[in-house]
Structure 1
Amino acid sequence: MVRKRVPEQHEGRRQEILAAAHRCFLRHGLQGASISMICKEAAMSPGHLYHYFPSKDAIIEQMADDYLASLHSHFSGHPEDEQTATVLLSELWSMKGWDDLGHCRILFELLAEAGRNERIRAILKQNTDGVRTLLAEALTAGQARGEVDSGLDPKHTSAVLVAVLDAAPMLPLMTADLDFEESRKLVTTMVGRFLKPQQ
């Protein structure tokens, strides 16, 4: 008799695998973390894991897709009159402290791996393009309200903002004793001044 798959249980197990893989990637890097390590972390056999993901690259790809979906939800959760800089940095503003940004640090592993792995580079580029589209839309809306400098090209500006978003989670790793709330306000002020229309 074929065992019936319960969608909720299947998705729950997939999320457990992704969480286990994330912990392994942060400890050992994308290259250093093996499927056997991920299986041990997730407390399952390789055969069981392959039922959910056919390869390590498939796990990485799903992580990248989930990150983009998370950004979508952050962007859509703001009122229309919200300050553009706050909307653009919505993921940062959804966090309560530096520890909440730990999941973002996998992006730096992806960046390092992209220099060696064409598949990872393609995944990273595809997801970055998606993020840039969201940022460009927010910038265009801000320009229509007169809140963002009309001389800024949304497409190019979005690329600069992606770099700011990706770098923010690294602050506590590079400098000790940084206050999270103050740092978040400073980043928002910096982006706000950058976007402000010229007088």
Structure 2
Amino acid sequence: MEDLLILKNISRHISLNDQEISYFMSLLKEKKVQKKELILKQQQVCKEISFVQSGILRAFYLDAAGKESTIMFAVSDWWITDMFCFINQQPAMLNIEALEDSVILQLQKDSLDELYLKIPKFERFFRIMMQNAYIREQLRVIENLSLSAEERYDSFLQKYPLAAQRVTQKQIASYLGVTPEFLSTMKINKQKNNPS
């Protein structure tokens, strides 16, 4: 069953019977997205949370001057949305873009609310998921305040080993808060200091 990945993801925190699985799966909408396609644009109301079945997506903020700041990458088996805007049904602060051809499963906000009522254990699942996301973002803020760019890059490689090989240097630099040129120089220096 192609949907097995999402069920494995959910089974890490809650157990579902066949009827609950069937109901949950009926709420999801599969969407195939092409490389560079935006599934969410800034100022568009954020109506879905997406599970990455295959491919890779990134959430980024685009400022008034056109500078991109990557907030997160989502590879297979990850969830992604503009959480504040999704929960509050407000215009998005972020863009979410496919970095390669991808398949996602989307759950609408009203379907999620319905799911909480019909299968209350999903509240536990999404609470754990949101707690983990909050912890991850808090740790990232602390890293940005306390670590050097090289240490942040090492942390990125540990967190996103698959993404590191599949995204551009510009996108990695925008995640780290450095220029692509600085990242390139840093990588060259790192290779000189740590020859294989």
Query: TM-score scaled to structure 2, two decimals?
Result: 0.29
Query: TM-score scaled to structure 1, two decimals?
Result: 0.29
- Give the structure with the larger helix fraction: 1
- Give the structure with the larger strand fraction: 2
